[in-house]
Amino acid sequence: MSVYWNSRVRKLDPYIPGEQPRDRKFIKLNTNENPYPPPPGVVEAIRKAAGEALRLYPDPSCLEPRLAIAERYGVRPGQVFIGNGSDEVLAFAFAAFFGKGAGGSMDKAAPPLLFPDITYSFYPVYAALWDIPFITVPLSENFTISINDYCTNSGGAVFPNPNAPTGIALKAEEILPLAEYQGRNNRVLIVDEAYGAFAGTGPLPGEGLLGAESLVPYIGGHPNMLTVHTLSKMASLAGLRAGFAIGNEALIEGLCRVRDSFNSYPVDRLAQAGISAAMADAGYYAGTARKVIATRERVAPLLREAGFEALPSAANFIFIRRPGKTGAELFAAFRERGILVRQWDRGRITGFARVSIGTDAEMDEFLSAARQIAGAGK
């Protein structure tokens, strides 16, 4: 620690992203990137934006992409907020809606924020950054979120749907009673839909950019509910860093107030052009989402046949473990075979690894490696 750090920085335990290798060729299944490229129209829109106008600041209101998102999702532009990836949007949301003064009691510390004990590991980082007290709520024995556990006095709640890293999803009808409960107490519920495009369960799973279990259609009746989205997964734009939130205009204004007190020009011209173009090509992304879902549904049972435990997933990854191996051992075994996965070795998920869904060819190589590892472990 440096003597120059203040007390806030000293107590932070930053989020550590997945490995981005440079030294050799790997099949990269560790950061949940989409295995398919963005459509040519999106790339061309970004290329056109990279011109003389870069000398000018971008539109601080992000009007064009907000209009595109609003049209795609059937909401009003004033219900859309755009940031540099969903991580930035979440950071602003934590600052705006949780902690001291939440719920209108400006002179009081709010009760603790609630989120699962096994979930996106950035949540406790944000809570520490903004001095927000929190309690982690244990998942059920089968790693599902029990909504009744969140219907208690709290400073609000946040969780992904599907959850990460488990991949297990809830139906909208299961979540809405929590939104109503939190609303009666003037608390905000954030549903992080980073993987929602892969949660489709109907005849056309993953249709467009809107997963079947999205809470977006219910925003109008629940002014305290905010959904958060990223284009990194569903739109193959992880390298662009673009995300957005959809919610009541009052929630969006709160996010804008935080943004404009931090950086009034956060989303650059290239990202705004890419977002707008991506929203206009729902058909392409429906196809890539269906391919990811089909591959996931093919691979999971084959892993179980090979002796792995694989949790039921509605995301673009599978959470697995091999009895008798730690997460570090599983990670090392796949890495030796040229495949990167993400390991976990803490608490109830000791021994688990998260495997992103790649192309069919990549997943065939992954399955071959998994069978070798299973055989070596006998």
Q: Where are the domains of the chain?
A: 7-37+283-376, 40-282
- Average pLDDT estimate for 260-284: 93
Per-residue pLDDT tens over the stretch 129-153? 999 999 999 999 999 999 999 999 9
Q: What's the confidence (pLDDT) of residue 226?
A: 98
pLDDT of 203 strictly over 50: no
36-57 per-residue burial string, b: 16 or more CB within 10 A, e: under 16: bebbeebeebbeebeeeeeeee
**Top-confidence residue, 160 or 283:** 160
Mean pLDDT of the chain: 91
- Class assignment of domain 40-282? alpha beta
Instruction: Assess contact for 83 and 259: CB atoms under 8 A.
Output: yes
pLDDT of 36 strictly over 80: yes
CA torsion angle 236 271 86 38 (round to 10): -10
Lowest-pLDDT choice from 24-33, 289-298, 369-378: 369-378
- Average pLDDT estimate for 265-275: 94
> In whole angstroms, what is the distance from residue 74 CA to residue 352 CA?
38
**Top-confidence residue, 109 or 347:** 347
pLDDT of 164 strictly over 50: yes
Q: What's the confidence (pLDDT) of residue 202?
A: 41
Which residue is associated with the tokens 């109503």? 180
pLDDT band of 344, cuts 50, 70, 90 = confident
CATH second-level architecture of 7-37+283-376?
Alpha-Beta Complex (3.90)
pLDDT band of 105, cuts 50, 70, 90 = low
Q: What's the confidence (pLDDT) of residue 209?
A: 40
pLDDT of 22 strictly over 80: no
